[in-house]
Amino acid sequence: MELEGGKADEEKGVPDFWLTALKNNEVLAEEITERDDEALKYLKDIKWYRIEEPKGFKLEFFFDQNPYFKNSVLTKTYHMIDEDEPILEKAIGTEIEWYPGKCLTQKLLKKKPKKGSKNAKTRTKIEECESFFNFFSPPEVPEDDKDLDDETAEELQNQMEQDYDIASTIRDKIIPHAVSWFTGEAIQGEELGLDDDEDEDNDDDDDDDDDDDEDEDEEDEEEDDEDEGKTKKKSSAGNKKSGRPQVGDGQQGERPPECKQQ
């Protein structure tokens, strides 16, 4: 397994670091409720790993001791079918060991008896509710999808796509750029439609412009000697080409091709 972790040392001791970073992302903010906030304040690190057998990846969420659940680590694992185009086979989440009365994925509803009713007892009902922690209870895929009707199959597909979108956002955006999401700098990049590759290209363009200016200066200085001027121009162009960073060794190389969303 190859670790692709967060920058735990840099983030250590920063209050609400991961909660803020997650909520500053539009996709993830929609999944986090006010009830989740207090529990996510105990989140101290997020890491992800590639896995080979079966192919896929795993997310790990590390928590300090807290009053909500016993687990110190919550995981989410994605198994992919390695065909011509990778397909999500299934996702597996940690079973959260909630403390009594602290479950954030359920609400306890109390229903008062009707006036004049012989049964004067208040009835209680447990109801599922929205929570970021539902992420660890992914939709279950039946072994034989022939048992599903079209409507159910479409609903399941949408749920799986949404679940994977959350995971890939955490893996590809939040973990490698956690500080930028915490400070809000990454939000501006999202609004402008910029990504890491575009930023690198812009830096390369600036370098090329500087090289071009240097070439012009060299030509002016050596205009009395055309042969020498041509030699310097060729040398400068050669340096410019070799100085460009190679695509695939940077951020793109950190994202496993088998984890593309379907």
158 vs 217: which has the higher pLDDT: 158
CATH number, domain with residue 175: 3.30.1120.90
Question: Is 235 within the bounds of a domain?
Answer: yes
Residue pLDDT, tens place only, 20-36: 999 999 999 999 999 99
**Same-domain pairing of 149 and 66:** yes
For the chain, the average pLDDT equals 76
Say what the pLDDT of residue 148 is: 76
Question: Is 24 within the bounds of a domain?
Answer: yes
The pLDDT of residue 122 is above 80: no
- From 170, 193, 216, give the residue that closes a domain: 193
- From 193, 217, 244, give the residue that closes a domain: 193
**Same-domain pairing of 6 and 50:** yes
**Same-domain pairing of 217 and 179:** no
Q: Tell me, what DSSP letter sits at residue 135?
A: G
The pLDDT of residue 13 is above 50: yes
The number of domains in the chain is: 2
- 98 near 68, Cβ under 8 Å? yes
Question: Is 211 within the bounds of a domain?
Answer: yes
**Same-domain pairing of 57 and 186:** yes
**Same-domain pairing of 149 and 38:** yes
**Same-domain pairing of 150 and 227:** no
Tokens read off for 131? 């929570």
Q: Which domain holds residue 219?
A: 195-262
Cβ neighbors of 11 (< 8 A, separation 6 or more) are 17, 18, 44, 45, 178, 179, 182
The pLDDT of residue 197 is above 70: no
Percent above pLDDT 70 for the chain: 64
From 28, 66, 73, 65, select the one nearest 48 (Cα to Cα). Answer: 73
**Same-domain pairing of 45 and 156:** yes
**Same-domain pairing of 150 and 207:** no
Question: Is 148 within the bounds of a domain?
Answer: yes
- Measured CA to CA, the distance from residue 60 to residue 56 in angstroms comes to 14
**Same-domain pairing of 94 and 35:** yes
Question: Is 114 within the bounds of a domain?
Answer: no
88 vs 96: which has the higher pLDDT: 96
**Same-domain pairing of 171 and 208:** no
**Which burial class, exposed, middle or buried, applies to 196 when counting CB atoms under 10 A from its CB (0-12, 13-18, 19+)?**
middle
At what angle are helices 196-221 and 226-242 packed, to 10 degrees? 170
**Same-domain pairing of 71 and 199:** no
Question: Is 111 within the bounds of a domain?
Answer: no
Query: What would the mean pLDDT of 211-220 be, rounded to a whole number?
Result: 54
196 vs 135: which has the higher pLDDT: 135
Q: Where are the alpha helices (DSSP H) in the chain?
A: 8-11, 17-23, 26-29, 34-40, 150-169, 178-183, 185-192, 196-221, 226-242, 251-254
The pLDDT of residue 123 is above 70: yes
Amino acid in position 197: D
- From 193, 221, 236, give the residue that closes a domain: 193
**Same-domain pairing of 136 and 17:** yes
Question: Is 138 within the bounds of a domain?
Answer: yes
